[in-house]
Structure 1
Amino acid sequence: MAELKEKLFSEFPPVSTEEWMAKITADLKGAPFEKKLVWKTGEGFNVNPFYRAEDIEGLKTPASLPGEFPYVRGTKKDNDWKVRQNLKVDDPKETNRRAKEALNRGADSLGFYLEGEAVSRESITLLLDGIIPEAVELNFATCGGAAEKLIGILVGYLKEHGADLNQCFGSVEYDPFEKLLVQGTEQENWIDETVKVLKTGNSLPNYRTLVVNAYLLSDAGAYITQELGYALAWGNELLSKLSDAGLTVSEIARKIKFNFGISSNYFMEIAKFRTARWLWAEIVAAYEPKDKDEAGKMVAYARTSNWNLTIYDAQVNLLRTQTETMSAALAGVDSISVTPFDAIYKEPDDFSERIARNQQLLLKEECHFDKVVDPSAGSYYVEVLTNSLADAAWKLFLETDEQGGFYVAIHSGAIQKAVNASNEARRKAVATRRLSLLGTNQFPNFTEMAADKIKRTEQESGNVPASGIPSLDFSRGASDFEKLRLATEKSGKTPKVFMLTIGNLAMRLARSQFSSNFFACAGYRIIDNLGFETVEAGVKAAREKKADVIVLCSSDDEYAVFAPEAYELVKGKELFVVAGAPACSEELKTQGIEYFINVKSNVLETLKTFNALLGIE
């Protein structure tokens, strides 16, 4: 039997797309297919609910092979990636201890972040003590003005300790555009400075010294198309301007590293990395370097995004970062770092850093993600996503080029404004629950208090400095809700919200649960109930509990009777809310009832209104 070759399901007749659509249309019972089942993404294209073999006919990507131009399926023929641990260098000796502990516990790549004034021969000596540079990928980042100095010190250290420079690998991450994007301040003579860094970096043959920090766009709430399109424009700006300055395209391309973010859009992120390698290879090839195949190989580091992280119910961050890491691993990036789940509100400790490393080690050692190259290849869905993203990102790339290139676009603020607009749109989706953040705008932990655990204050962003160039807004998806709930905590008041449940059993329980989750998002104390025989009994019980807000939970049909009765009994002593959007809403409003909550409510704005009414600022 094992030797028999049979086609599975061959006894079943084929089903055409038309037959599938006819069945789906019938099951929708008149509801429009486009409205109900087609996903209207923020990426500039729509996604269908199903795809078939005919959808990938004529596409070139399914025929690609791993390690072959244009590298859709990867730049190598295996799927091993580096497990990177990022460390901020405050005390070089202590950081060295943490680095060696990380290496002993499974990391094989280190990322060191040094302030400019901390760059010295002594600090590098302490930092790298006992670390074998030929065996570990070493990555360094510092302020732009100190990058050239850091490379010189690093070369001197490696030579002094007898290291083989041809076997050492990693990066010194020089980014001439970060200040312009993050602070709205530009670096004068960036081309000359970048040329100096690149030429100095030639002493380290296998070190990348120029970076495209596309993760900044991801952290600022950019859609995937924007992160990808602008990253390509960013890399092309380096190729274009530095080649005009006399460098060859090959030596420039071989020194560029792409640092991407990873959002929670699982399959779209897989497609993003496949698309990124493909389009970058085509861009480099357009310059006609002699070693097109080698020069066009993208080196991609991926780190989980900050935009999705939350302060409340922070352990949920582990779930978010795990699926994000899976996307990048399956897509075949070169190295990954997982942001510790508590990094958004404090300096990560040994525990959270260990958990973050283990998230990757589980994918390698138990799930064997490193054993299969591009397992999503051939998937109708992923192949269509790859090509759709390529079309949308390429369009944005060309638009940026028409504006004069990446530098001109960020100097004018066009890119910052576009990304900030996306951030605002996505935060609005969070406010209205079209985008869920578990534990923040959906199913919050009712009793959690977070103010005391916050040890790190987030920088204000999105401002327009004296230069007049806007900066990126790094407000996270949860930032507005967290500000609201922290205001409740710090006010010293804990408003009580009483569920007056009455009438239809199923409806009152459903609306009570909905309303409890709704008001708990602001940190209010919820008093739920199984039900009351009369409205009067419910109001009486609410007053015994000293409720600040009474929420009537019943069925639409019963609201016409229960709501006016309850409102009359409340008489303005408590805030009165009707859960739902009954047909009699307008009539109830004429009787003085103001507040209704339902699935179409803007949760954030509604809760801001209640905070104001309850005297919470």
Structure 2
Amino acid sequence: MSGSFPAPSRETWQAEARRALKGAEPSSLDRIDADGLRVSALYAADDGVLPVIAPRAGDADGRAWDLRTLVEGDDPTLVNAAVLTDLEGGAASVLLSGAVLADPEPLGEALAGVALELAPVALDAGLDGPDAANALAVVAKGSPRARLRLHMDPISAFAEAGTSPRPIADHLTLAANTAARHAGAYPEATFFLASGRVVHEAGGSAAQELGFAAAAAVAYVSAGITAGLSPERALAGTVLSVSVDAEYFDALAKVRALRLIWRSISRAFGAESPAAIEARSSRRMLSARDPWPNLLRLTAAGFAGAVGGADTVVLDGFTRAVGRPDAFARRQARNTQLVLMEEAHLGRVDDPAAGSWFLDARTRDLAQAGWSAFQTVQAEGGVLAALEAGTIQTRVDEARSALEAAYRDGAKQIVGVTKYVDPDVRPAPVEVSAATQPADRGSRTFAALRPIRLSEPFEMETSA
């Protein structure tokens, strides 16, 4: 048509790139990631990139995604005040952790005034997940349409602790039986959280995180079916979870890749079901000495979750590396998402990454690498057997060592920590919380996937 712009050829792009690089080839910017995948500097239509369509299944009560806040605490009155503040301030749901989950009475006090059929309530109770699930079910009695997110995830708790009070297979069976017991009473509930975040926080690669999440999902769905759930209900009752960080292109591609992997898993169970993905911000990316730049890191993570198509996004408080976030930090976490949703309008387009040659190629590469990592775990007997044998930990250790070396050698930088360091850091307040001793889970039976924080070694040097 008259006045249209000519489509530039690949050669034109390459010529422009060479000029910008002062004669260097664009391929000089190519890199190999932690999974051995090539990330090119230039992508074009003639690269043969297959399009990827991976939108979230639907809106969250008219919103693009479920804005979920994390509320922790042991005092039911304080937790209730924080929950109501978050919901009144724009959150759609809450994720609870702490001693309030131990019994129906404190949990009921913590959720006073919350309409459970309107505001989903998710739990983070580790190996005590079934007890917390039972407590929430008691609190929700009389609300059969309550949107409970029980989030039982004994596999991640087992992996991080390196042990469990009883054989982990028993914990998995208990979680599945708990799910089957509540499935009829709460048809809107989900039961399991199949998460790869424990691998990410321990320094693992994207493919390792995806493979772990997929293997956990298969373990939970299989256990649910054995406990009496139909394949359709077991699949619908399983929420997937990955970490999103400031490397937002890779993070959003990881969310999209997880949706592709889930398609193959659900088809294998004979009941294709849309994925429900909860993206949580990375903790390993956060700095402690100067927590203020974490606000930007968390904004980038929220961008990745939103554009990647996560159904739910949970952002941590920016002071997490210092201590338990206070009301100000929780407000910032909530408002960050509100700005991304209501001012930046990130959710107005379904799967906005679709059509980008780079992001479609990256999504497919990560999906294939994640599927390969999943197949490796399955060949080792499944996620529990692989953890007990230590093979998952060995691979994560290798990825973590390479990642730490990249920061140590200067190949990667952390703003505010290794580059552009503020010599006069403003303190950031945190919530006072009682120090608690970790529960005795018995002697360790294998190497744990312990969380790391990438800034910590450099911060220790600064303080020394």
The answer to whether the superposition gives a TM-score over 0.5 is: yes
Q: Is 1:9–2:1 an aligned residue pair?
A: no
Q: 1:110 to 1:177 in 2, by over 3 A?
A: same
In structure 2, list runs of 5 or more residues that go unmatched: none
Identity of aligned residues (%): 25
Residue of structure 2 in register with 1:104 after alignment: 88
Residue of structure 2 in register with 1:284 after alignment: 266
Report the AA paired with residue 49 of structure 1: A
Residue of structure 2 in register with 1:393 after alignment: 370
Residue of structure 1 in register with 2:320 after alignment: 343
Q: Is 1:173–2:169 an aligned residue pair?
A: no
Q: Is 1:334–2:311 an aligned residue pair?
A: yes
Residue of structure 1 in register with 2:163 after alignment: 185
**8 A contact 1:314–1:342 mirrored in 2:** yes
SS in 1 for 2:251: helix
Report the AA paired with residue 8 of structure 1: S
**8 A contact 1:79–1:373 mirrored in 2:** no
1:51 to 43, 46, 60: 43
CA distance in 1, matches of 2:230, 2:148: 22
1:384 to 348, 361, 374: 361
Deviations 1:27-54 (A, max 9, x none): 86785654x2212222321111111112
CA distance in 1, matches of 2:157, 2:136: 24
Residue 279 of structure 1, CA deviation:
1.3
Deviations 1:511-540 (A, max 9, x none): xxxxxxxxxxxxxxxxxxxxxxxxxxxxxx
CA distance in 2, matches of 1:205, 1:276: 25
Residue of structure 1 in register with 2:397 after alignment: 420
Residue 24 of structure 1, CA deviation:
5.4
Q: Is 1:121–2:104 an aligned residue pair?
A: yes
SS in 1 for 2:264: helix
**8 A contact 2:291–2:319 mirrored in 1:** yes
Q: 1:138 to 1:468 in 2, by over 3 A?
A: closer
Deviations 1:52-100 (A, max 9, x none): 112245x252xx4xxxxxxx22222786111111111310111101111
CA distance in 2, matches of 1:243, 1:467: 30
CA distance in 1, matches of 2:80, 2:437: 31
Equivalent positions of 1:83-482 (< 5 A) are 83-115=67-99, 119-145=102-128, 147-159=129-141, 162-163=142-143, 165-166=144-145, 168-186=146-164, 187-188=166-167, 189-202=170-183, 203-243=185-225, 247-289=229-271, 292=272, 296-448=273-425, 466-482=443-459
CA distance in 2, matches of 1:209, 1:339: 23
CA distance in 1, matches of 2:123, 2:8: 56
Residue 194 of structure 1, CA deviation:
2.6
**8 A contact 1:347–1:456 mirrored in 2:** yes
Report the AA paired with residue 309 of structure 2: G
Q: 1:82 to 1:282 in 2, by over 3 A?
A: same
Residue of structure 2 in register with 1:521 after alignment: none
RMSD: 2.9
Q: 1:459 to 1:387 in 2, by over 3 A?
A: farther
CA distance in 2, matches of 1:404, 1:236: 12
Residue 237 of structure 1, CA deviation:
2.2
CA distance in 1, matches of 2:121, 2:431: 31
Residue 376 of structure 1, CA deviation:
1.4
**8 A contact 2:315–2:334 mirrored in 1:** yes
Report the AA paired with residue 36 of structure 2: G
CA distance in 1, matches of 2:243, 2:420: 27
**8 A contact 1:423–1:473 mirrored in 2:** no
CA distance in 1, matches of 2:451, 2:320: 15
Report the AA paired with residue 368 of structure 2: D
Residue 195 of structure 1, CA deviation:
2.4
Deviations 1:546-577 (A, max 9, x none): xxxxxxxxxxxxxxxxxxxxxxxxxxxxxxxx
SS in 2 for 1:83: strand
Report the AA paired with residue 249 of structure 1: P
**8 A contact 2:288–2:322 mirrored in 1:** yes
CA distance in 1, matches of 2:136, 2:423: 51
CA distance in 1, matches of 2:304, 2:147: 25
SS in 2 for 1:282: helix
Report the AA paired with residue 359 of structure 1: T
**Alignment size in residue pairs:** 455
**8 A contact 2:71–2:96 mirrored in 1:** yes
Q: 1:112 to 1:459 in 2, by over 3 A?
A: closer
CA distance in 2, matches of 1:111, 1:450: 27
Residue 313 of structure 1, CA deviation:
2.1
Q: 1:425 to 1:153 in 2, by over 3 A?
A: same
Residue 176 of structure 1, CA deviation:
2.1
Larger relative contact order (C-alpha < 8 A, sep ≥ 6)?
A: 2
Residue of structure 2 in register with 1:561 after alignment: none
Report the AA paired with residue 34 of structure 2: G
**8 A contact 1:83–1:335 mirrored in 2:** yes
CA distance in 1, matches of 2:284, 2:163: 23
**8 A contact 2:204–2:399 mirrored in 1:** yes
Deviations 1:433-486 (A, max 9, x none): 21111111112112448799897899999xxx9444001131211111112222
**8 A contact 2:126–2:154 mirrored in 1:** no
SS in 1 for 2:121: strand
SS in 2 for 1:393: helix
| Superposition TM-score, scaled by structure 2 size | 0.89
**8 A contact 1:191–1:242 mirrored in 2:** no
Q: 1:131 to 1:29 in 2, by over 3 A?
A: closer
Equivalent positions of 1:554-593 (< 5 A) are none
CA distance in 2, matches of 1:178, 1:170: 20
